[in-house]
Homo-oligomer: A and B are copies of this chain.
Amino acid sequence: MTEDNVVYIGNKPVMNYVLAVVTQFNNGASEVAVKARGKAISRAVDVVEVAKNRFLENSKVKDIKIGTEKIATDRGESNVSIIEIVMVK
């Protein structure tokens, strides 16, 4: 899987990211990884569920990984949770 098949979830509305996932599959991707960290993790799950249930009915979740990353903040290093959800079609 190339880095092109990754959708990073930020603070935009869920449907923006759903569109990004659907577009990647429509452009021929066989796998798309949805990645998020911190509070965006909930939105990442929403994105995958909406994409799967409403737009890509023959897709499924292949793998879900969670982990911890260190990020630099004003007050030194901080831990943030991450998620990666791999969808296949």
Interface residues of A in 32-49 (CB under 8 A from B): 38-42, 45-46, 48-49
* Copies of this chain in the oligomer: 2
Q: Give the nearest-CB partner of A14 in chain B.
A: B81
The 0/1 profile, CB within 8 Å of B marked 1, for residues 70-89 of chain A is: 00000000010101010000
Question: Separation in Å of the A32 CB from the closest CB of chain B?
Answer: 15
- Give Cα distance in the complex from A8 to B29, angstroms: 36
* Number of chain A residues close to chain B: CB under 8 A: 20
Which residues of chain A in 13-37 are interfacial with respect to chain B, using CB atoms and an 8 Å cutoff?
none
Instruction: Given the known inter-chain contacts A66-B61, A66-B64, please indicate yes or no for A81 contacting B38, CB distance below 8 A.
Output: no
Q: A42-B39, A42-B41 are in contact. Are A48 and B66 (CB under 8 A)?
A: yes
CA distance A24 to B83 in the complex (A): 25
In angstroms, Cα B68 to Cα A45, docked, is 9
- In the assembled complex, which residues on chain B have CB atoms less than 8 Å from the CB atom of A66? 45, 48-49, 61, 64, 85
